[in-house]
Amino acid sequence: MSTGEEKLKHARERMVKTQLRGRDIIDSRVLTAMGSVPRHRFVPDDLRRQAYADGPVRLEKGQTISQPYIVALMAQLLELEGEETVLEIGTGSGYQAAVLSMLVAKVYSLERIPELARLAAEKLRVLGYENVEVLERDGSSGLPEHAPYPAIVVTAAAPKPPEPLKEQLAPEGRLVVPVGSQEGQMLERWRKGKGGALSQERIAPVAFVPLMGEHGWKTDHRPFWAR
Ligand code: SAH
């Protein structure tokens, strides 16, 4: 390993210790996945030095890769055991999809911006995350072809939990989604009971880029400099 790679590995170990274990991430499989996925390979080249910092990192096209803690928290909230198929809405860099791919059998990840979908799919392939399929489409309508899913995660801010995603959740399934305005949201977990009834938990305040689309926002209200 080159010294540069060593340093990045140490930075990643430190991230797991202080930002994740030091908070409330206790799922050992999530901690292992976060300690293994090379986050620096998913951030733009000129921002590599920020890859393991305790915050989000800007991506191309006005999108962001979430703070490591939020990625870990969302994964933990999904309560994954290993055999599941997970649906992710908002591929972005592909980082969160890579983390999820280590926790389940199969990940379908949906991205509406063609260039991001293409870049992420390429990166995941090169790094060997073979159980992730990236599809370019409006993920606010979900992916009915492979439904129902025991776990669905939305990594963009929704005005309300999209109805198709609630429908595509399997009995006892979990849907993790940031819900609120375009300025700030509450991270919510929706759980479907055996009989199909949904219950909701409010977890933590968060700030995601908007979920655009048929069951999301129709216009991006963010100021031009934030896009
Ligand atoms: N999970 C990503 C970060 C997501 S940023 C990562 O680990 O890097 C949010 C992403 O959601 C952006 O890439 C944005 O283009 C995408 N997005 C927004 N609305 C969408 C929609 N309706 N369907 C699919 N992707 C969407």
What is the rounded CA–CA span in Å between residue 22 and residue 15? 9
Q: How many domains does the chain have?
A: 1
Distance 139 CA to ligand 1 centre (A): 9
Q: Which two tokens stand for residue 73?
A: 């928290």
CA distances from 189 to 140, 141, 166 (A): 16, 18, 11
Tell me how many degrees the CA angle 155-160-164 measures, rounded to the nearest 5: 80
Burial class (CB in 10 A: 0-12, 13-18, 19+), 1: exposed
Between CA 86 and CA 189 the distance in angstroms is 15
The pLDDT, as a whole number, for residue 3 is 78
What confidence score (pLDDT) does residue 225 get?
A: 73
The pLDDT tens digits of the residues spanning 31-50 come to 999 999 999 999 999 999 89
Percent of the chain with pLDDT over 90: 91
d(CA 41, CA 190) in angstroms, rounded, equals 32
CATH code where residue 123 lies:
3.40.50.150
Question: Which of 24-28, 60-64, 176-180 bottoms out in mean pLDDT, i.e. has the lowest?
Answer: 60-64
The rounded Å distance from CA 117 to ligand 1 centre is 9
pLDDT value, residue 75: 98
Choose one of 66, 113, 116 to mutate for the ligand 1 pocket test, by most ligand atoms within 8 angstroms of C-beta.
Answer: 113
Q: Which of 71, 89, 91 is nearest to 30 (CA)?
A: 71
Boundaries of domain holding 222: 3-226
Task: With beta carbons less than 8 A apart as the criterion, state whether 185 and 165 touch.
Answer: no
The span from the CA of 28 to the CA of 192, in Å, is 25
Q: In this structure, what DSSP letter does residue 13 have?
A: H
Mean pLDDT on 132-145? 98
Our answer on whether the CB atom of 72 is closer than 6 Å to any ligand 1 atom is no
Report yes or no: 192 and 157 within 8 Å, Cβ to Cβ. no
* 171 neighbors 193 (Cβ within 8 angstroms): yes
pLDDT at 2 exceeding the cut of 80? no
2 an active-site residue?
A: no
> Is-contact 206 200, C-beta < 8 A?
no
Question: pLDDT for 55-87, tens place per residue?
Answer: 999 988 888 999 999 999 999 999 999 999 999
Calculate the CA dihedral of residues 17, 91, 101, 79 and round it to 10 degrees: 70
The structure's pTM equals 0.97
Closest ligand 1 atom, CA of 99? Answer: 7
The DSSP output letter for 163 is H
SS3 readout for 93-133: CCHHHHHHHCCCCEEEEEECCHHHHHHHHHHHHHCCCCCEE
Q: Is the pLDDT of residue 170 over 90?
A: yes
